[in-house]
Amino acid sequence: MPQLSNLYLFLYNSLQSIGWALALFRVLSNFLVTKSTDGAYASAGELICFLQTVAFLEVVHGAIGLVPSGALLPLMQWGGRTHFLLAIVRGINEVQELPSVFITFLAWSLSEVIRYPQYALSSVKHCPYWITYLRYTSFIVLYPIGVGPGEIWLMYQALPYIKEKHLYGDSLFGLPFSYYNFVQVVLLCYPFLWLKLYLHMFKQRKSKLTKQHPRKKTM
């Protein structure tokens, strides 16, 4: 059973690696050809939506103990990204060509083409230290870029369209507030939730790099 679990994790993370590498290629190719950030969603949006939706499996992996992450933090990450991507970016055509979409997609793609290969190789216990180091170091720059000028800025820019369109109605899940109000609350909470995840990743970095740092050979 452990061998089957590791094989499954290797295949899942390898397929995600290929998918995000393709997404990164599409985003960068469009930028280089058009010299513009406008076409990021048109070039890779649907692929990224698919990859992010499938990533719910990572919440399941943690919940059933297939990986040691638990379910809460993966659920927070998956929920935040998926809401941003499906409810706002995909749901509002007017925001799809904003530079913040390009920034988000670029930061996400760069992060995932490092993270998923590291997970894949670790699942079969053949991950070089330098990949682990890159995985637990690149987030220091990529994560704030994706969240700040990416996700948070785009949600703020989307507010007028949400209000104008009465997006998802004036009552959310039967509660006495609109989706517009919900996004306002999300924007207020986002920095605090992001900081919790960011600091957690620094703890992970210390633990993983200390554990896997190659020891000097004794004479």
Our answer to whether residue 179 is catalytic in this structure is no
Annotated catalytic residue within 151, 179, 180, 190: 151
Our answer to whether residue 161 is catalytic in this structure is no
Annotated catalytic residue within 12, 136, 143, 179: 143
In the 3-class helix/strand/coil scheme, how is the chain assigned residue by residue? Answer: CHHHHHHHHHHHHHHHHHHHHHHHHHHHHHHHHHCCCCCHHHHHHHHHHHHHHHCCHHHHHHHCCCCCCCCHHHHHHHHHHHHHHHHHHCCCHHHCCCHHHHHHHHHHHHHHHHHHHHHHHHHCCCCCHHHHHHHHHHHHHHHHHHHHHHHHHHHHHHHHHHHHHCCCCCCECCECCCHHHHHHHHHHHHHHHHHHHHHHHHHHHHHHHHHHCCCCCCC
Catalytic machinery residues = 143, 151
